[in-house]
Amino acid sequence: MMTTNLPVSIAVLTFNEEKNIGRCLDSVKWCNDIVVLDSNSTDATCNIVEERNARIYTRVFDNYANQRNYALKEIEYKNPWILMLDADEVVPEEMLEEMEKVLPVAGDDVTLFQMRRKDYFFGSWLKHSSSYSSLWFGRLGRVGRFWVEREINEEYHTDGSIEKLNSALIHYPFNKGIHSWLEKHNRYSSMEAELILKQKVSATSWKGLLSQDPVLRRKSLKSIIYSLPGKPVIMFLGRYFLAGGVLDGRAGLRYCLLKTIYEYMIDCKLSELKRIKKDLPV
């Protein structure tokens, strides 16, 4: 890893991430200010963090948006920029090199950089089935100028201008095992169902499909698809055939099927919530 004077602090959220956090922190050894916000881990996560001389803070987890906003607003950082990471993500050297080029020349109005990430499953990069080309999210922003909304599958917002990084984070979502992925997405599906119940598809959703902002386009498309019957099947067909998941081989098929299970869980839980709301037996 190259040395650098890059004015970027790192913020990582953790909960029982002993299998991931070491690799994540090793990928940002160049940083002089690494913060880990832990949710009372019971494994060796905090010990590993301490071995790498990162600062540790603890907060009881309630939802992802609140957790990230706490890290952004309640913790002081040494540098003017923050790169927010998950413990199962890695910052490749090409991203470091790109940040060294773009941050010194970024105008004062630029407050957030969007990026993508490369998801790996069974040793393969899910280039197509993970929606790599269209899935952008803001993770690198100026201190005090960006925040997070939505309790699950968060959205990053800013009061300034947004630019993009060409390089991508490396993501290992299955590094803790498929069982862990399923347990996590069981929780996610419950949170998603509750959020969907509160939302309605509007004219704004359709207009968003024409937006130049890839985040807004994806949000609008997701909102529309979630209102259609047979959503899990639609999502599978779109992900596997239209997006090219079939080109990702066996890993792509497995991933698309797992995502379909996730979408089906959301559907079932949404139906359950609607019946509960009407005081009907489940």
pLDDT in tens, 169-197: 999 999 999 999 999 999 999 999 998 88
Least confident range from 134-138, 175-179, 241-245: namely 134-138
Q: Is residue 282 part of a domain?
A: no
Bigger pLDDT: 29 vs 222: 29
Angle between helices 249-277 and 178-198 (to 10 degrees): 40
3 in any annotated domain: no
Same domain assignment for residues 133 and 196: no
Residues 155 and 197 reside in one and the same domain: no
Token reading at 64 = 């992802």
Range(s) of the domain holding residue 142: 8-171
pTM for this model (two decimals) = 0.90
Q: d(Cα 181, Cα 148) in Å, to the nearest integer?
A: 23
Residue 163, CB half-sphere, CA atoms under 13 Å: how many?
A: 16
Tell me the pLDDT band of 39, cut-offs 50, 70 and 90: very high
Residue 186: inside a domain: yes
CA distances in angstroms from 75 to 95, 128, 146, listed in the order given: 25, 37, 14
Q: In sequence order, what are the residues at sequence separation of 6 or more whose Cβ sits closer than 8 angstroms to the Cβ of residue 117?
A: 89, 132, 135, 168, 169, 170, 171
Nearest residue to 98 via CA among 80, 114, 79: 114
Are 164 and 60 members of one domain? yes
CATH number for the domain including 154? 3.90.550.10
Of 140, 171, 202, which one is at a domain's C-terminal end?
171
- Between CA 87 and CA 3, with CA 27 as vertex, the angle to 5 degrees is 150
CA–CA gap between residue 49 and residue 10 (Å, rounded):
13
Task: Give domain status of residue 63, yes or no.
Answer: yes
Percentage of residues of the chain with pLDDT beyond 70: 95
| pLDDT confidence of residue 199 | 74
> Residue 98 pLDDT more than 90?
yes
pLDDT for residue 214: 74
Q: What is the pLDDT of residue 3?
A: 61
Confidence band of 2 (pLDDT split at 50, 70, 90):
low
Question: CA-CA distance, 87 to 167, in Å (whole number)?
Answer: 19
Question: Count of domains in the chain?
Answer: 2
Among 150, 171, 192, the domain-final residue is 171
Provide CB contacts within 8 A for 229, sequence distance 6+: none
State the Cα–Cα distance between residues 196 and 217, nearest whole angstrom: 17
Nearest to 88 by CA among 116, 65, 119: 119
Q: Over 50: is that where the pLDDT of 203 sits? A: no
Is 182 contained in some domain?
yes
